[in-house]
Structure formats: structure tokens, C-alpha cells
Amino acid sequence: MTAPPDPKFILRGNMDENVYSLLFNSNVKHLYAGDGKGIVHIWDLKINRIKYQLSNGSSPCFNLHATNEADLIVQRRHGTVDVYNVNESSWTLSRSIDYKYCSFCRSQLLPEKKALLVPLDSSVVGILSLSTFNIEFMLDPSKLSYGDKLGTVMAIKPVTEELILVAYEGGRLLLWDIKRNSIISSLLAQEYPTTFDFDVSLMQGIIGSASDKLEIFNMSSDHTLFHKFDKHVDYVTGTSVLRVRPDKKIVAAGFWDGRIMLFSWKKLRPLAILNEHRDTVHDIIYSSCQVETYDTKYLMAATGKDGYISLWDIYK
């Protein structure tokens, strides 16, 4: 491993000591941060100061999304989705939807951005329409022979507009076909998966859990899931977040102890350890375009239980 780089900047403000979710806006001039008190802090990255704050109750902000129709979608811990619109400098809460399920699982936007995947009770994933704001469809595994052993929905990841990967508490990863409402493939992984990511270009994914192991899996051309190898990480008790960088060169793993480890994505070769955070890392994101303020193409932002945000320029 090489010597770790220093962060480009540390954002500190009057945020809660738990910051759960991050999102760059489309031109990467603003960074949204959702905290444990239910407040979304909008940081201006030109001056590195909070410009706006949005709040609707005290339920923690577990994930943030942006679409063409809504300027910001906030998934909250206690089963609420808030939709905000902005006009010049004025933010308006245009809709609040209660899907009535409290979970630690993050919602996900479908690729066409017309629906949100949300966790529901009894191992079900709901498809929440952003047009009607109703649960229009459900991925319900109850009829499977092992359906009662799946447990809570832990993590969701769209592969295409029709294919969805879902990880369950019992350790099983299922590939769903939305159009047919059926399971295409199943992989029995480690129990209590906490996070995973998947790269369509390499058809490769990575799973983290409450153990010291990262599990790499692949998807074949006929959509069969299969185990590739395990990567043991020393002195780790749990993985909280995994993010593959958009250029597919690096994967970042955030752990319960505050460390962020960087690996090469193809072979999972260790590259560096970032020790800036003092407690559990809750979220890691990358910019999707050049960030002029920091002169980098892929700005990485990380946050967690210590209540601040670190910004990184990692290996161009």
C-alpha cells in the first residue's frame, strides 16, 4: 500500500453528530448532507459553507436522490419520503409520502428515475411511483421455499431498468426481474450483509457484512450469480458502506471503526487506508464530473458518526 493522501478539505458545521447520507448536485457546486436530526444541509463547495438547511420533522435522513422532476428526494428512517423543489433560492416541500416501514436499508432510484425502490415488511421491496406517489408494485419472496428465512431487506441495487439485486438479512442475494416479478438467480452469501455495490461493466459485485470479510461475486451473461473470492481485512469488525468509483478503477470500503480502505476494483489489491474519521463511516460518494473548486474529476466525499464530511482527490 502507498502512503495515504491528505483530505482536500474537511466540512464542519452545525450538523448532527450522525451524518447518514450525501449527494452531489449535477454540476457539483453543492453537496447535500442528511443528518440524524432530519436536517438536510446544503453546502456551497465554492466557499465551503452551509448555504441552506431543509427540515421536516426529526426522522434521520437515510438517503438522498435527485431527479428531473424533483430537485431533491429525502428518504427518512421512519418510512417517509419527502420531495423538495427549488425555485431560485427558495425550497418548497412539495410532497411527503409515508410508506409506513421503519428500516436501516437505503432506498434506490430506478435508472429511468420514475420510481423509488423502498424496503417493506416481510422481506418485500416496494416500487414507489414518483408520479402517483403510491407503492405500485412489490417484489414479494413469500412464495419461495426459503422465503421465510430471508429476513429483513438490507440493501438494494438496480442493475438495469428491469433487473434488481436485493440482499437480505439471512445472507441471500437475489436477482429480481421486475417485468416478470420473478427471481432469475440466487446467491447464498454471508449472513447479515450490511452493504453491497455492483458494477455492470465488469458484471462484478462486492458485499460487506458484520464480519472481517469482503465477498466478491460475478454475474454471468445469462444472469447467473456466482461467488468469486473472499477478501479478509485485518482488525475489522464490520463494513458499513462500499462504493465503486465511476471509472471502475477503485472501490472504497467504509468500516465501523471509521477507517476507509481503498482497493483496486478488478483484483481488490489494497491501495491505502484513510484514517480521517473517528467513528462509523455512513456514506461515501463520488462526483460524476470535473469539480473546478478542487481541480479533480472524481471528488470523493465521506461522512459518518463523527458529524463531519471529508473531501478527497484519490489517484487520478
Cα–Cα distance measured from residue 307 to residue 286, given in angstroms and rounded to the nearest whole number: 19
Share of the chain above pLDDT 90, in %: 80
Helices (H) and strands (E) in the chain, counts: 0, 28
Nearest-angstrom CA–CA distance, 129 and 113: 9
290 has pLDDT over 90: no
3-state secondary structure (DSSP) of residue 292: helix
CA distance 294 to 171: 40
Please answer whether residues 45 and 64 qualify as being in contact, where contact means their C-beta atoms are separated by less than 8 angstroms.
Answer: no
Query: What's the confidence (pLDDT) of residue 100?
Result: 86
Mean pLDDT value of segment 175-193:
94
Amino acid at 309: I
Would you give the DSSP letter of residue 5?
P
Q: What is the per-residue pLDDT for 26?
A: 84
Largest Cα–Cα separation, the chain: 56
* Minimum mean pLDDT range among 24-28, 173-177, 211-215, 257-261: 24-28
pLDDT digits (tens, 9 = 90+) for 114-127: 999 999 999 999 99
In this model, does residue 316 exceed pLDDT 70? no
Q: How confident is the model at residue 289 (pLDDT cuts 50, 70, 90)?
A: confident
Predicted local confidence at residue 28, as pLDDT: 87
Over residues 230-287, the pLDDT tens digits come to 999 988 889 999 999 999 999 999 999 999 999 999 999 999 999 999 999 999 999 9
- At 202 the pLDDT is 96
The predicted pLDDT at position 189 comes to 92
The pTM of this model reads 0.96
